[in-house]
Amino acid sequence: MRDVAVIGVGMQKWGELWAKSIRDIWVESALMAMDDAGVDHIDSMYVGSMSPGLFSSQEHLESLLADYLGQHHVPATRVESACASGGLAFRLAWMEVASGLSDVVLASGVEKMTDVSGSEATHALATAADMKWEGMSGVTFPGLYAMMAVAHMHKYGTTRQQLAQVAVKNHENGSKNPRAQFPMRITVEDVIHSVQVADPLNILDCSPITDGAAAVILVPADQVKKYKKPGVKVTGSGHATDTIALHSREDLAAIRAAAIAAEGAYRMAGKTPKDIDFAEVHDCFTIAEILISEALGFFEPGQGGPAAEAGWTALGGRIPINPSGGLKSKGHPVGATGVAQIVEITEQLRGECGPRQVKGARVGLAQNMGGSGGSCLVHILEVM
């Protein structure tokens, strides 16, 4: 296998993009990535998107978007793995370059979620759960993660304040990110006293509904000098799945797929959790970041909450998590999130993140998952 590097990234400001269609926002980000890399063609492309048929009444995205990018004869693939669709699109693009099949590959993700009602969006997202045993019983993702939060609180003593601190930290980071959907600062009291969604989770514990896209360009690492920007090398990739339904899992207070995917990525990269300078993780709910910080080996089981409360995951902390603001502040257009994490990792490693820059960052980790942890991708990237 060849070594692979990211040489270009593209992403617009996320939010409620009423004036743009799904094709508009995707092409915008793809062109940004191509311009950033200094390429005028691609050999292949992957598009992560969870439910464009339900959110935008548009399937067959791969053909549509290749056409609108002016690359209508290029091999194109639409990838679906619920909220991990973007991370999986990135992994497949990395595999194609690593295999030698192609030299310039576009990995991207997109979702246009605000063109439907709130109830329709809730239904579309619920299809990432086990529809027979969870969705048809009326269980939503806030409900599923609330059960995981209760399990973690019962088993380890995690507190409501510790959950809230995750949101406070991520909004502080997001306030420094010009592309974040909700860049406002909040307090622990704001989170605790916000409207309850599913006990113990309140509205400020939950990531929002978002429109957005993100794209990156991958090439062989030995060809990086041909392009405009310094390359960021992909040194580890891990992928794992678990049961979709929570009732089939041994432990509701852990996300096993994330731990297994991380083990694969660490092994490939020749790294341990102590070697990671910062991470972008899938904080769809505040409890998710705590669970993932433990699954990745940054903290022992049960210590993710105290670590967040102590400031260890803040900028300048022991292991900064979600310097972008995460899903919580940056936004969560489900198919695009995994690629946006790669955008942030790349820009951090290139030293381009301004007031939210992680000092001395040389190794970054991205973790993206689908549903309540039924699928998970972990990637490790390093300065070349």
CATH number at residue 15: 3.40.47.10
For residues 247-260, average pLDDT:
97
In a domain, 140, yes or no: yes
Residue 281 sits in the same domain as residue 349: yes
Residue 215 sits in the same domain as residue 339: no
> What is the C-alpha to C-alpha distance for residues 263 and 259, in angstroms, rounded to an integer?
6
Q: Which residues pair with 8 in a beta bridge?
A: 217
Torsion of CA 91, 92, 94, 97, to 10 degrees: 170
Q: Which residues contact 138 (CB under 8 A, 6 or more apart)?
A: none
99: number of Cβ within 10 Å: 11
For residues 15-20, average pLDDT:
97
Residues 27-40 have pLDDT tens digits of: 999 999 999 999 99
In a domain, 124, yes or no: no
> What is the C-alpha to C-alpha distance for residues 109 and 9, in angstroms, rounded to an integer?
12
Phi, psi of 110 (to 5 degrees): -155, 145
Give the residue carrying structure tokens 């603001």.
325
Residue 90 sits in the same domain as residue 191: no
Domain extent, residue 148, equals 130-208+235-378
Instruction: Clarify whether 171 is annotated catalytic.
Output: no
Find, among 27, 28, 31, the residue nearest to 12 by Cα: 28
**Could you tell me the pLDDT band of residue 72, with boundaries at 50, 70 and 90?**
confident
Contact 220, 97 (CB under 8 A): yes
- Lay out the sheet containing 232-241: strands in order across: 76-79, 44-48, 105-112, 211-220, 4-11, 232-241, 375-383, 363-370, 278-280
Q: How many domains does the chain have?
A: 2
Residue 58 sits in the same domain as residue 184: no
HSE toward the beta carbon, residue 286, CA cutoff 13 A: 33
Contact 207, 328 (CB under 8 A): yes
Residue 354 sits in the same domain as residue 316: yes
Residue 97 sits in the same domain as residue 244: no
Residue 181 sits in the same domain as residue 312: yes
**Could you tell me the pLDDT band of residue 275, with boundaries at 50, 70 and 90?**
very high
CA distances from 24 to 19, 60, 69, 192, 239 (A): 9, 15, 10, 38, 30
CA–centroid distance for 237 within its chain: 14
- Tokens read off for 185: 């600062």
Residues 120-163 have pLDDT tens digits of: 998 999 999 999 999 888 889 999 999 999 999 999 999 999 99
Annotated active-site residue in 152, 332, 376, 379: 332
Residues in the chain: 384
Q: Which segments of 45-193 does DSSP mark as H helices, in order?
A: 52-56, 61-68, 85-99, 118-126, 141-156, 160-174, 188-192
In a domain, 383, yes or no: no
> What is the C-alpha to C-alpha distance for residues 321 and 370, in angstroms, rounded to an integer?
19
Instruction: Clarify whether 282 is annotated catalytic.
Output: no
Residue 69 sits in the same domain as residue 29: yes
Residue 304 sits in the same domain as residue 246: yes
Collapsing DSSP to helix, strand or coil, 175 comes out as coil
**pLDDT (0 to 100) of residue 221:** 97
Q: Tell me, yes or no, if the pTM score tops 0.95.
A: yes
